[in-house]
Chains A and B, each alone.
Chain A
């Protein structure tokens, strides 16, 4: 079975450029999560969706970050304009429904470097 698929795996771009990260959740999963991981701050939840609707976006750092889920099989996380402090590994995860006891299935991440 296909797991969570993220693209690109690596992205290097200059400060000020727009960055778009993509995620395809596991088919049949109703919840999707975007995380950011750094050495300093660990794994932080940015936003999550249930049935394509954003439920909690309190982790989104600022207005430069936006996320969409136009359908059950696709989500994007956009940073515009990007800054060097946005450099991190960004993970997408999905679960059958919500949080609670549900296991989350993670993609392999996008390693983002902003120069």
Chain B
């Protein structure tokens, strides 16, 4: 069974600060997706990283896929209250197959105005 551990589990910081959350596994994934979930809603895809070492930016959010494709990080610069939510990573074992996604344990982020 492939497991994805996310850390920290909870994070509360002041508006304007920077932060990094992590998604780690002992298994290799062909790709990794990051989702954000707000209260009362379903997760919404932010980005998919596919290549080992890949870095993708989405405004103030920077996503990196580890060289060995076993881990990923999400860095937020100058956090804003709108960044508050549950951040989930999800790993795909194969690029085109029917094997299910493995979702991480989640990081619950709160940005204090």
Contacts and interface: CB of A to CB of B under 8 A. Distances in A.
Given A42-B103, A99-B98, A101-B50, 8 more contacts: A45-B101, A99-B99, A100-B94, A100-B96, A104-B101, A106-B42, A106-B44, A109-B42
Contact of B98 (A43, A50, A106): A50
Most buried by A among B41, B43, B45, B104: B43
Contacts, number: 64
A43 B103 contact: yes
A103 interface: yes
Nearest to A58: B100
Given A106-B43, A107-B42, A101 B98 contact: no
Contact of A48 (B48, B100, B103): B100
B95 A100 contact: yes
Interface residues of A, number: 23
Interface in B16-46: 30-31, 33, 40-45
B37 to A, nearest CB: 8
B43 A43 contact: yes
Nearest to B103: A43
A62 B45 CA distance: 30
B40 A98 contact: no
Interface in B89-113: 92, 94-101, 103-106
Interface string B54-92: 000000000000000000000000000000000010001
